[in-house]
Amino acid sequence: MPVNFEGIREFARIAQDPQELVRHARGNIELWANLFVIGWAVAFMLWQGFGFAVIVGTVFAIWAILAVSLNLVVGFTGLLSVGHIGFFGLGAYTMAILTSDPAYEQLRTEAIPTFGWPFFAALPVCIGLAGLTAVLVGVVFNRFRDDIFVLVSFGFAIIAFNVFLNLRSVTRGAFGIHEIARPEIGGWVFDGEVEFLLLALVFLGLVMLVSWFITTSSFGRVLTAIREDEQAIEVFGYRATHFKLAVWVISAMMTGLAGGLFASWTTFIDPNSFILLESVLLVSIVILGGLATIWGSLLGAMAFVLLEEGMRFIPYLPTEYIGQARQVVLGILLVLLMLFRPQGLVGRYRL
Amino acid sequence: MTVDNEALALQTEGISKHFGAVRAVDELSLSIPRQGTTSIVGPNGSGKSTLVNLLSGVLPLDGGMVIIDGVGLRVVHAHETPAHGLTRTFQEVRLFDQITVWDNIMVVLTERSLFPSLIERVRPAKRRKAQEILESVGMWEKQDSLAMELSYGQRKLLEIGRAMAMDVQTYLFDEPFAGLFPQMLERVKDIMKQMRTDGYTIVFVSHNMDIVRELSDRIIVLDSGALLAAGDVEPVLGSAEVIEAYLGA
């Protein structure tokens, strides 16, 4: 959904009268969801201190780019893709291979070609390669929809993971790739966490802008019509397959960008970051925030990251269980969400 | 019916559609002249809806040829039918449920090709056109509702409005009157009468014989996927074989 200026103005008007505000807030779940997640984020930052909040912020920015781009496909077009992690991994590996430091001492048996490119030269390649792969995959995937589409995109995620794991001459397999370059402009390196956070937020802003531009255009309206009834929109003179392919490729390119950003941030990647579960979590974020709303994807990503990172500090729980406990809690929350608010925190549409 | 080809809006030559052993439409040849209203009637399962689906490219042909506006097509692509001057409504109303009434109309008024549509924002001319359409089907006040929130009759009307927004020559209405309250029914009838006066070609499927008599200029009777009779309304409805098919004597 585009930025709702009308809504903001309306809210500003209501906010002037406290009684009116209270009356309005009661029963307005969207408002509560917004206040809750943002309040939670602020509280978290105050509690954990600035340094950790910056890292959590970067994790949030990367998940948010992923969620916004996936929402174009899942929320607006109605194609439930669980394969986007493949594009994410592709972007990350492209960045890793192109920028990893050739001077880094490799195990001779697991040596891969390195190029030592700078970040900003490699990023367009990440985006382009993800886009190109999406065209090839999308031409086939266009034949499917609904539940079958879920299955074939599942297949794509599996294939991508196995390529990352087993194409050892390119990806070093389970050893992973080290010494991935940090972004750098004219000799100034984004090596600090704050600098990287700002860069990630700039990219998030760009992705949101592109998504906003797409979803508010006639193209965006056609996407929602495809989601509702693909055959009917064909009768009115649209080639649904072209529109689906276009949005799929755009979404994959943004996802590839997120991958490049992620690799550069962690400076080390291995196939474990690109397992199917991550893809499922990503879909959960989109549904949690709300389908077909850009703001909802931000909120969903924020809530998810706070949940993930925040639960590191659950008291009384032995550390060895915390990892699993987080996923259990997330699973329970998703079930509750589907029971009581299937349209997500701020969404209007359902799958 | 003797009409020259110039005056034909739609024509079929031996078209067939089989579902397993069922011959829904079987070697059917018929012609529908330009302008005026043509009704398609027949008992349940006689192939009326299948015919409409074949003409609009929603179902692929198993054989034969459809001639739309003088262009012969052995494969009808749904997305090409508007270019041939054809649009339709569906028997089971198929709106874009989870988008607004306004967007349901707007979506058929906008750019068809990929890149122009990406840049296009709604311009005042199209806005006016959408408003005009919504007002003509009495749905202007409902513009911000989701299509799924409308009543059944309103949904039927909106679907007809969406077809009108296409602004083509030939309209296929599949059961436009089914399940409507009298008031809504009058409204749909008025819309169709107006379209007839304006010189469009209207083809509609109906079970309601009173409306068929009132609105049609010509009638086509189908039975078991084949043409039973066609021509002016009263002689066709009065013929022995049509009466037999309907009463199942």
- HEC readout, B215-239: HCCEEEEEECCEEEEEECHHHHHHC
Distances from the Cα of A349 to the Cα of A96, A288, A293, B66, B115, angstroms: 38, 12, 9, 39, 26
- The fraction of chain A above a pLDDT of 70, given in percent, is 93
With beta carbons under 8 A apart, name residues in chain B contacting A239.
Answer: 79
Q: Quick check: A350 contacting B, CB < 8 Å?
A: yes
Q: Do B83 and A237 lie within an 8 Å CB cutoff?
A: yes
pLDDT-based confidence at residue B3 (cuts at 50, 70, 90): very low
Report the pLDDT averaged over residues B23-37.
Answer: 92
Task: Kindly state the average pLDDT of the residues B156-162.
Answer: 95
B39, B206 contact by CB (below 8 A): yes
How many helices (DSSP H) and strands (DSSP E) are in chain B?
A: 9, 10
Distance CA A96, CA B190 (A): 67
d(CA A208, CA B41): 53
pLDDT in tens, B4-22: 556 788 999 999 999 998 9
How far is the C-alpha of A262 from the C-alpha of A267, rounded, in Å? Answer: 8
pLDDT at residue B249 above 50? no
Exposure string over A244-258, b if 16+ CB within 10 A, otherwise e: bbbbbbbbbbbbbbb
Residue of A72, A213, A216, A236 to mutate when probing chain B, most B C-beta within 10 A: A236
Helix or strand (DSSP H, E) at A310 = helix A294-310
> Which residues of chain B are within 8 Å of residue A351 when distances are taken between CB atoms?
none
> How is chain A split into domains, by residue range?
5-11+31-340
Is A228–B96 a contact, with Cβ atoms under 8 angstroms apart? yes
| Averaged confidence pLDDT in chain B | 91
Query: Rounded CA gap, A141 and A139, in Å?
Result: 6
Question: Which of the two residues, A347 and B193, has the higher pLDDT score?
Answer: B193
Instruction: State the pLDDT at residue A275.
Output: 93
Sorted by where each starts, the structural domains of chain B and their CATH numbers stand as 1-85+168-249 (3.40.50.300), 96-167 (no CATH)
Mean of pLDDT over chain A: 88
Contact B106 A221 (CB under 8 A): yes
pLDDT at A200: 96
Pick the CATH number of A5-11+31-340 from 1.25.40, 1.10.10, 1.10.1060, 1.10.3470: 1.10.3470
Q: Going by DSSP bridges, is the β-strand pair B170-174/B86-88 parallel, antiparallel, or unpaired?
A: parallel
Chain segment A108-119, per-residue pLDDT in tens: 666 778 788 999
Structure-token match 């109605």, residue found: A78
B29 or A345: which leads in pLDDT: B29
Q: Does B98 touch chain A (CB under 8 A)?
A: yes
Q: What is the pLDDT of residues A199-238, one digit of tens each?
A: 999 999 999 999 999 999 999 999 999 999 999 999 999 9
pLDDT of residue A58: 94
Please tell me which of the candidates B78, B99, B166 has its beta carbon nearest to residue A228: B99
Distance CA B171, CA A60 (A): 51
Q: Please tell me the total number of residues recorded for chain A in this structure.
A: 351
Contact A347, A296 (CB under 8 A): yes
Higher pLDDT, B234 or A124: A124
Beta-bridged to residue B65, according to DSSP, are: B13
Span of A171-180, B29-38, B98-107, B212-221 with lowest mean pLDDT: A171-180
Averaged pLDDT for residues B61-67: 94
Q: What is the mean pLDDT of residues B35-39?
A: 93
Q: How far apart are CA A39 and CA B164, in angstroms?
A: 49
Q: If DSSP codes are grouped into helix, strand and coil, which group holds residue B143?
A: coil
CB pairs A-B closer than 8 Å:
93
In this prediction, residue B248 carries a pLDDT of: 60
Q: What angle do CA A136, A145, A244 make, to 5 degrees?
A: 50
Least confident window among A336-340, B48-52, B151-155: A336-340
User: Which residue from A217, A237, A348 is facing B79, i.e. has the nearest CB?
Assistant: A237
pLDDT of amino acid A106: 60
CB-CB contact of B101 with B143 (8 Å): yes
CB burial class (10 A; 0-12, 13-18, 19+) of residue B44?
exposed
C-alpha to C-alpha distance for A144 and A138, rounded to whole angstroms: 10
Comparing A303 with A27, the larger pLDDT belongs to A303
Say whether pLDDT at B159 is over 50. yes
Q: Do A228 and B166 touch (CB under 8 A)?
A: no
The pLDDT value given to residue A18: 74
Supply the pLDDT for residue A283: 92
pLDDT tens readout for residues A4-54: 677 777 777 777 777 777 776 666 788 888 888 899 888 888 888 888 889
| Six-digit token string for A251 | 């979404």
The structure tokens listed for A194 are: 């704050």
Q: Supply the DSSP string of A44-56, one letter for each residue.
A: HHHHH-HHHHHHH
Task: Output phi, psi for B203, to 5 deg.
Answer: -120, 125
Distance from the Cα of residue A253 to its chain's centroid:
12
> Which pLDDT does position B1 carry in this prediction?
42
- Report the relative pairing of strands A184-185 and B86-88 from DSSP bridges: unpaired
Q: How confident is the model at residue A341 (pLDDT cuts 50, 70, 90)?
A: confident
Q: Which two three-digit tokens encode residue B216?
A: 């049609």
- pLDDT-derived band at A350, boundaries 50, 70, 90: confident
Reported confidence tier of residue A164, pLDDT bands at 50, 70, 90: very high
pLDDT tens-digit readout, A256-294: 999 999 999 999 999 999 999 899 899 999 998 999 999
Worst-scoring range by mean pLDDT, A54-58, A304-308, A325-329?
A: A325-329
| DSSP secondary structure string for all residues of B150-202 | S-HHHHHHHHHHHHHHT--SEEEEESTTTT--HHHHHHHHHHHHHHHHTT-EE
Total residue length of chain B: 249
- Take residue B76 and report the two structure tokens written for it: 């009808």
- State the pLDDT at residue A20: 73
- Interior CA angle at B43 toward B40 and B48, to 5°? 40
Nearest to B11 by CA among B95, B88, B70, B77: B70
Reported confidence tier of residue A107, pLDDT bands at 50, 70, 90: low
* Amino acid A104: pLDDT: 67
Per the CB < 8 Å rule, is A233 touching B107? yes
pLDDT, greater one: A319 or A185? A185
Q: Cβ distance A54 to A197 under 8 Å? A: yes
Q: Please choose, from the candidates B15, B37, B31, B18, the residue with its C-alpha nearest in 3D space to the C-alpha of residue B214.
A: B37
pLDDT for the residue A112: 78
Say which residue the tokens 């943004």 belong to: A254
